Each structure stands twice: as C-alpha cells, then as structure tokens.
Structure 1
Amino acid sequence: MMRTGWKVLALVGLSAVTTSCKGLNTATLTQALDKVNTFSVEAQRCEKMHADPGVQEEYALGGALAINFVRRGDGLLLSGPDDALHRYVNVVGKNLAAQSARPTLEWTFGVLRDTSQFNAMSAPGGYVFVTRKLLQGLENEGELAGVLAHEIAHVTLKHAIRQYGEAKVKTCTLVTLGESALPPSAVRLLSAGRDGDGSLDLDKDSGLLGYLSEKTIELIDKGNAKEQELEADRVAVELMLSAGYTPDDYLALLAKTTDGGGAFANHPGKDERRDNILAHVQALKQPDGAFRGLATEGLRSPPLSPAFAAVRGGSSARGVAKDGK
C-alpha cells in the first residue's frame, strides 16, 4: 500500500536525523524499524475484515443503508392506497425470497416516492427498494418479479457485503497507521475487530456505523462489477422459475430500458444481459426440454394487482387487473 510506503520512508528519515556525528544511532534505527514492523503486522490483520460479517452486523449495516436509500428516494409510499401497493410488493418479493438461498432473512420490500429515477436497489439484511418511476413502467407482475428477483440475488450473492468489506479494510488500515479522524470509541471498536475475527458490533457505535455506511454507499454508487450483474441476472431467472414466473417478462422489461441509464447505468448492455439470460435458461433445461427440478407447465405472466392503480393514476391503467380478477 502506498500510504504504508510513505510511513516507512518517514520513519527511516526520522532515524537519519537522529544519527550522531560519530555514526549511525543504531538504537534509534532499531526502534524505528520495530515500529514499522508493528504497523505492517497490524495492517495485515485488517485483511481479515474482508470476511463475511455475522447476521447482526449485516442487519445493522443494511438498516443504515436502507435509511440512506429512503432519504434519497424522497421517502416511502405507505399511506392510503399506497399501503395496499406496499403490501402487494412485499407479497411478491417475499414469495421470491422464499425460493432464494437465504430464505430466513427478514426480507423487507419498499416503494420509494422517487418519480425521476427508473431504479431499484438492495442492501444487506434483505432490504429491497423500487422507485415509483420504475413501477410506472411495468406491464405485469412478471416484470415486477424480475426486478425484485434481481435485487434479491444481489443480497444472496452478498455483493454489497464485498463492498462493505473493502470499506472496513481501508478504514482499519488508516486507523492502524494513525491517519484516521475517527473518534476514540470507533478506533477501539475497529482495533478490537482487527485483533479479533474481523467482525464489528456496529450497534455499539453509531458514529462508526454511519462512517462505514457512507463509505459503502460510495462504492455502491460506482456500480457492481459487470460479472456481478450478469450473475445476479442468472440467479434472478432461477428465482422466477421457482416461483412460477416466465423469464420472458424479465426480458421484456430489459428490452424497454436504455443502456447506460437509470437503474442500469453501471450494468452490462441490455443485449449482453439478454444473451446471458437466454443462455442460462437453455443451460437449465434437461435434454427433454424440462427445467431441472422445475416444471415448465404453469409458468405464468399474471396481471398486476389493482393496488398498482396507486402509481398509475387510475384503475384503467394498462396491466392492472380489475378488483376480483
């Protein structure tokens, strides 16, 4: 690490200043080198913070990120007819999450008031949000399922957890080198994690939680790696099939997006994503055309709930089922 290199040069330079006229002050140099070695060993311990956190730490981080998403998304749609929409999105989302590799997370789905960004996002611990703008572009429940399944996949694949790990390691290294302005309580907590198994009890220090959340958000805003997005698409397809939705609806939604914009600003191009999804669906099929462990019969593309009228401005909006249908 470049910062560590500068620290070494500074310490060696300090030892040169203390050299006596008769020769090198070996005691001072030895002390300086010992200090450098100590810094190096402690900094290496920070690497253990790349490991997956425990569920309590994940929930603390996810909750903080969720608050950030809600604030930036102009708040949640929850009152009046919007409450029915919120419940509907949770039913669809939790059904998909139950098919995932992490069904026991306390999954929470929410609709943000944001009418300017065609966007969806997720946070560790099972938080998934979609914007009102995105919902306004959906034609049926299958498209909604595709969006939610993609974000569920990011959570189960722990993509944000990897970004959080990067933030933890960098912050720990800065603290070790004495280059962090964090308060003493946060420094003690980080040092304990460095000297322990790498985990942090974020509930003990709201300041550290806020700091690491901000650093993680900065990484999230830069976007996931290309392969992570393609991987999330593949898992999303499997979740949709498990829940009985046809992946064609997800492909239909992707076809309506614009490369490099909105929720897909940092994603691979939609043509590449389409090819990736189609190849994965084909790979999931048995020689006789059936899906492994799944039945192709009954795959459906149901209409949206009447609750969707809350974001469409009326029950006559496209794709919205009438009451009782």
Structure 2
Amino acid sequence: MMRTGWKVLALVGLGALTASCKGFNASSLTRGENILGKLSAASAEAKTCKKLRAAPSVQEEYALGGALAINFVRRGGGLLLDGPNDALHRYVNVVGKNLAAQSARPTLEWTFGVLQDTSQFNAMSAPGGYVFVTRKLLQGLENEGQLAGVLAHEIAHVTLKHAIHQYGDAKVKTCELVTYGEAVLSPTAVKVLSAGRNGDGTLDLDQDPGLLGHLSEKTIDLIDKGNAKEQELEADRIAVELMLSAGYTPDDYLALLAKTKDGGSTFANHPGKDERRRNILAHVQALKQPAGAFSGLATEGLRSPPLSPAFAAVRGGNNPRGVAKDGK
C-alpha cells in the first residue's frame, strides 16, 4: 500500500518511533528539533538492522524450528503416531536418522514425522532438524530408496540452512518496520531485537514468545513462496551424496521425481523434473572415480530395499506392492 511522504513524516513526528529497535523517546522532541533529522536518524538506524542476518545460535535455531514444526503439524492435520502408525513413525525415523548421520550436521536432534495430510504430495523441513512427509507422499512410494531420497532432500535443506536464510530476511524486515514505526511489538520484543542488533546479531527468542510467533509467521510466509531454483538443485545434489553414503541407489530418487508434476502450488518454484534429473545424473557422474582410485562415495553395489511392513498402515491392503512381508 503506497504511503505519501507526509504520512511517513506524520508517523515519525507523532512518536511512532518509540517502538523502534533502539527505543526512541518521543518526549525528547522539542519545538526546536527538526523532524526530518529524526527521520534521517531512523533511516540510519534501520540500516544497522542488517546485522540480524547473522547466523543464529543453536538455541535460537531450535526455538525457530520448533515453532515452524508446530505450524507444519497443525496445517498437516496432525501426526500419525498412534496404534499401527507408531511402527511407521519409528521406521521413518530410523531411515531418516541414518541419512542425517551422514550429513554435515549429524549432531542436530533430528526428528522425522508423518503428517495426516492425504491431499498434498509433499515434504518439508525446519531448522533444528525437523523433517515431515505427508501421508499422501508415503502412499506414492514404491521402495525404501524413494523414501530415503525424499528425506535426504529435506535433510539437505536443513544442513544448507535455506530456511535460516529466509528467517534472517524476516528478522531484518521486522527490525526495519519497527524502526520506522510501521510495526508494533511489545517492549520486551523491541528490547530483544535491539540487543541482537547491537550485539552479535543473534536473538534470545525465549525472552518473548510473541516475537518468536511473529518471526516464525513471517518466515512461514517466505517458505510458502518456495526456495530459489538453485537451492532446490543444490539440495538434490546433497541428497544424492547422503543416499550414496547410506548405500541407496539414486535411481530410486530419480524414479520418484519422474512421478511428480512440474509446477502447481506445491512445486511452483521447483526446477522442472527434467532439469532435476540432468542435475542429479551429472553430479553422480562427477562423484565417480577412475578405476582403482579410492572413492569416498561408492556408486556401485548400492541397495534398493523394500519398504517396511509398517507401510501397510498407510497403503492399505495386504502386503501392497513395494512393502516387505514380515521377516522377509
């Protein structure tokens, strides 16, 4: 919504700057002070908000990740946990944690969950090691390798800190809006923002749940718009490396991608599946070593295991295709 220069000046002159990160005192305005000078000072202060793009502390990352995870679970209709779904939940965690152990951040408290959602063929992740897949997606899997590919892709987003970059943008924008008086936060939230901006750029979100809620909502808005094309391709490359490290063939992941549809609301910002396939095949080729040379990632002797019997809970029927029988 467009605002005239006079309206912005009026906001500043009427004391809206009291909600700034630093905490302007409107009572200090006297008849001899230049309102344009105050606006100039606010502009200079807003520029320092960029410091909030600094990498968050681990505590801050877990706080954000937990808030985003709650949002994902709520929107996904809850988690599949009870009764026969408990075995499925444990199985997905075993596969996921095995892959995460091969990642660049193996010490995160990795948590994997299945959402009740039967309409969206989707997976998502949050900082701190939260990864979710929908029931609809699980119903489309044919073997464990395809599950591994999906989980590895989301693990890659976490280790590459893609959502954290979006969170950094949300922090900076919030700080700027508060500085100009265009957003109102509690005094405690303003104090937390100010401490982060004037310190090392990290925030103690445990001090103000309202600020955590505000920033997580803004981050969700950015996540819903999707990652950049190169971020998706980068996550695919890391996913391939994780699969190879865990002994899965990337061919299973390619087979799953072939079943997805380009575009649409879920994959609107994703590269086309043909481009993703070329990207993955090129990366696998680049990882291959000459005969006789030591290879850090083996590209031969890989597995394509069947799904656990626990998958019968979401697939229906007796031993549906791709699901192993008990003990086999």
Q: Secondary structure at 1:168's aligned position in 2?
A: helix
Are residue 84 (structure 1) and residue 84 (structure 2) matched? no
Q: Which amino acid aligns with 1:100?
A: S
Q: Could you tell me which residue of structure 2 aligns to residue 10 of structure 1?
A: 9
Q: Could you tell me which residue of structure 1 aligns to residue 166 of structure 2?
A: 163
Q: Secondary structure at 1:122's aligned position in 2?
A: strand
Unmatched tracts of structure 2, length 5 or more = 14-29
Q: 1:132 to 1:9 in 2, by over 3 A?
A: closer
Are residue 127 (structure 1) and residue 130 (structure 2) matched? yes
Q: Could you tell me which residue of structure 2 aligns to residue 295 of structure 1?
A: 298
Q: Could you tell me which residue of structure 2 aligns to residue 19 of structure 1?
A: none
1: distance between equivalents of 2:8 and 2:326?
Answer: 73
Q: How does 1:14-25 map to 2 (within 5 A)?
A: none
1: distance between equivalents of 2:213 and 2:87?
Answer: 32
Q: Could you tell me which residue of structure 1 aligns to residue 192 of structure 2?
A: 189
Unmatched tracts of structure 1, length 5 or more = 15-26
After superposition, what is the alpha-carbon deviation per residue over 1:59-116, rounded to whole angstroms, capped at 9, x for unaligned? 0000000000000000000001100000000000000000000000000000001000
Q: 1:269 aligns with which of 245, 252, 272?
A: 272
Cα RMSD of the aligned pairs, angstroms, is 2.2
Q: Could you tell me which residue of structure 1 aligns to residue 47 of structure 2?
A: 44
1: distance between equivalents of 2:278 and 2:294?
Answer: 18
Q: 1:7 to 1:99 in 2, by over 3 A?
A: farther
Aligned length: 310
Q: Secondary structure at 1:110's aligned position in 2?
A: strand
Q: Could you tell me which residue of structure 1 aligns to residue 207 of structure 2?
A: 204
2: distance between equivalents of 1:256 and 1:277?
Answer: 16
2: distance between equivalents of 1:92 and 1:254?
Answer: 19
Q: Secondary structure at 2:96's aligned position in 1?
A: helix
2: distance between equivalents of 1:321 and 1:217?
Answer: 37
Q: Could you tell me which residue of structure 1 aligns to residue 181 of structure 2?
A: 178
- Measured after TM superposition, the shift of residue 288 of structure 1 is 2.8
- Measured after TM superposition, the shift of residue 247 of structure 1 is 0.3
After alignment, is 277-286 or 118-127 more displaced? 277-286
2: distance between equivalents of 1:302 and 1:237?
Answer: 16
1: distance between equivalents of 2:167 and 2:193?
Answer: 14
Q: Secondary structure at 2:270's aligned position in 1?
A: coil
Identity of aligned residues (%): 81
Q: 1:218 aligns with which of 217, 221, 224?
A: 221
- Measured after TM superposition, the shift of residue 265 of structure 1 is 3.1
2: distance between equivalents of 1:294 and 1:43?
Answer: 47
Q: Could you tell me which residue of structure 2 aligns to residue 279 of structure 1?
A: 282
- Taking structure 1 as the reference length, the TM-score comes to 0.90
Q: Secondary structure at 2:80's aligned position in 1?
A: coil
- Measured after TM superposition, the shift of residue 264 of structure 1 is 2.6
- Taking structure 2 as the reference length, the TM-score comes to 0.89
- Whether the 8 Å contact between 1:8 and 1:36 is mirrored in structure 2 is no
Q: 1:199 to 1:182 in 2, by over 3 A?
A: same
Q: Could you tell me which residue of structure 2 aligns to residue 17 of structure 1?
A: none
2: distance between equivalents of 1:39 and 1:307?
Answer: 58
Q: 1:138 aligns with which of 136, 141, 154?
A: 141
Q: Secondary structure at 2:131's aligned position in 1?
A: strand
After alignment, is 60-69 or 188-197 more displaced? 188-197
Q: Could you tell me which residue of structure 1 aligns to residue 260 of structure 2?
A: 257
- Whether the 8 Å contact between 2:287 and 2:297 is mirrored in structure 1 is no
- Measured after TM superposition, the shift of residue 33 of structure 1 is 4.7
- Measured after TM superposition, the shift of residue 291 of structure 1 is 7.9
